[in-house]
């Protein structure tokens, strides 16, 4: 770079609000957000989740109300997660493929009330299994190929219910291609796949698993045999390239903030949208810090959103989507 002080003064373009607005490289709007919601059986339920301050368990009617509010604020999509009673879980996660299950009913209700909001649904068995794993647990490990058939059926049920996007979060090899083949053969040619392509075996998922009731079921054996090693970045590139080749329309990096380097690296190698997930542990830490007086919650949340966008994320799942959208409005 040529030039030197005082001819070059970088502070000139920081000197006032108007010039900072003109020179800003990265911006955040409500259109960047996806709001995750935890769905429970019943009516009129809005029950706080202790591990996630400001986040609730919602019955389907409350999800519909939230969908209307999100749409009015400009949030383009919701991600729905089921909370299944422990006595209804089983080793095979049979409720995952029930056409009249909790999530298919929720999808139909939201689409009837707010047809233009996008609906994303996870494809994985962990909310439905009594062992807490994302697939069929056989001989001490999750069986990849046996699980694929169940995941394909789950994706079919969700597509039939009206889900705009199915999101395999299970990390089984080959699941994107198997789901894409099913969607094409069944005529769901416009149903999108958001692959949790880079999902690390992270401790940051703790509050989410608590909210779903899967943490205690999982026990001492974690998900390290199928979720990614937290130490690996080159492997992340391999995963996203495979999933895009198999038909993924978008790819996700999860967790988000501790893995900004991975988001940036993924952005450089794929030409599909990249999604970051500000996972439950990240959100809970920021909420706890704000409650302790360390910083203002909305300001630190906004800063974290800018960081995701600057790293290369096109969209962000965050539990603070509604709060952020209200603040931006």
Interval 113-132 mean pLDDT: 96
Give helix 280-291 / helix 297-311 axis angle, nearest 10°.
Answer: 150
For residue 16, is pLDDT > 90? Answer: yes
Mean pLDDT of the chain: 96
The pLDDT score that the predictor gives to residue 3 is: 82
Using pLDDT thresholds of 50, 70 and 90, give the confidence band for residue 146.
very high
Q: Which one of the listed residues 89, 199, 223, 309 is annotated catalytic?
A: 199
Q: Which residue has the higher pLDDT, 219 or 149?
A: 149
Annotate the chain with three-state secondary structure.
Answer: CCCCCCCCCHHHHHCCHHHHHHHCCCCCCHHHEEEEEEEECCCCCEEECCCCCCCEEEEHHHHHHHHHHHHHCCCCEEEEEECCCHHHCECCCHHHHCCCCHHHHHHHHHHHHCCCCEEEEEECCCCCECCCCCCCEECCEECHHHHHHHHHHHHHHHHHHCCCEEEECCCCCCHHHHHHHHHHHCCCCCCEEEEEEEEECCHHHHHHHHHHCCHHHHCCCCCCCCCECCCCCHHHHHHHHHHHHHCCCEEEEECCHHHHHHHHHHHHHCCCCEEEECCHHHHHHHHHHHHCCCCCHHHHHHHHHHHHHHHCCCEEECCCHHHHHHHHC
Distances (CA, A) of 113 to 66, 107, 123, 263, 319: 11, 10, 24, 35, 22
245-285 per-position pLDDT tens digit? 999 999 999 999 999 999 999 999 999 999 999 999 999 99
Distances (CA, A) of 55 to 46, 59, 71, 305: 9, 13, 18, 18
For residue 220, is pLDDT > 60? Answer: no
- Please give the structure tokens belonging to residue 224: 């390290």
Using pLDDT thresholds of 50, 70 and 90, give the confidence band for residue 71.
very high
The pLDDT score that the predictor gives to residue 280 is: 96
Whether omega before 243 lies within 30 degrees of 0, making that bond cis, reads no
Using pLDDT thresholds of 50, 70 and 90, give the confidence band for residue 78.
very high
State the Cα–Cα distance between residues 77 and 71, nearest whole angstrom. 8
State the Cα–Cα distance between residues 249 and 207, nearest whole angstrom. 28
Q: Which one of the listed residues 89, 111, 223, 254 is annotated catalytic?
A: 254
196-212 per-position pLDDT tens digit? 999 999 999 999 988 88
Give catalytic status of residue 112 as yes or no.
Answer: no
The pLDDT score that the predictor gives to residue 323 is: 97
For residue 178, is pLDDT > 90? Answer: yes
For residue 221, is pLDDT > 70? Answer: no
The pLDDT score that the predictor gives to residue 213 is: 77
For residue 151, is pLDDT > 90? Answer: yes
Interval 53-60 mean pLDDT: 97
User: What percentage of the chain carries pLDDT values higher than 90?
Assistant: 93
Interval 320-325 mean pLDDT: 98
The pLDDT score that the predictor gives to residue 222 is: 85
For residue 112, is pLDDT > 80? Answer: yes
The pLDDT score that the predictor gives to residue 140 is: 87
For residue 175, is pLDDT > 60? Answer: yes
For residue 219, is pLDDT > 60? Answer: no
Domains of the chain: 27-328 (3.20.20.70)
307-321 per-position pLDDT tens digit? 999 999 999 999 999
């Amino acid at each position: 770079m040529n030039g030197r002080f005082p001819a070059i003064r970088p502070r000139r373009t920081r000197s006032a609000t108007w010039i900072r607005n003109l020179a800003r490289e990265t911006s955040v709007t409500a259109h960047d957000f996806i709001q995750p919601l935890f769905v429970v059986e019943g009516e009129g339920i809005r029950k706080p989740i202790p591990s996630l301050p400001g986040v609730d368990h919602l019955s389907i009617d409350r999800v519909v109300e939230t969908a209307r509010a999100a749409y009015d604020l400009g949030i383009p999509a919701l991600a729905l997660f089921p909370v299944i009673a422990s006595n209804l879980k089983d080793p095979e996660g049979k409720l995952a493929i029930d056409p009249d299950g909790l999530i298919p009913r929720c999808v139909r209700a939201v689409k009837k009330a707010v047809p233009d909001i996008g609906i994303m649904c996870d494809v994985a068995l962990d909310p439905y299994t009594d062992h807490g794993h994302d697939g069929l647990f056989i001989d001490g490990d999750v069986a990849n190929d046996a699980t694929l058939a169940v995941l394909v059926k789950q994706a079919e049920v969700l597509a039939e219910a009206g889900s705009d996007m199915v999101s395999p979060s299970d990390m089984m090899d080959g699941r994107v291609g198997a789901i894409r083949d099913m969607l094409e053969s069944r005529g769901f040619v416009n149903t999108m796949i958001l692959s949790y392509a880079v999902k690390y075996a992270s401790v940051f998922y703790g509050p989410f698993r608590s909210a779903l009731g899967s943490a205690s079921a999982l026990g001492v054996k974690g998900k390290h045999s199928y979720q990614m090693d937290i130490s690996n970045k080159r492997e992340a590139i391999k995963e996203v390239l495979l999933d895009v080749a198999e038909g993924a329309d978008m790819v996700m990096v999860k967790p988000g903030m501790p893995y900004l380097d991975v988001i940036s690296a993924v952005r450089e190698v794929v030409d599909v949208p990249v999604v970051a997930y500000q996972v439950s542990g990240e959100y809970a830490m920021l909420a706890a810090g704000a409650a302790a007086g360390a910083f203002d919650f909305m300001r630190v949340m906004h800063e974290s959103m800018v960081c995701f966008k600057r790293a290369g994320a096109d969209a962000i799942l965050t539990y603070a989507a509604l709060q952020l959208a209200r603040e931006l409005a």
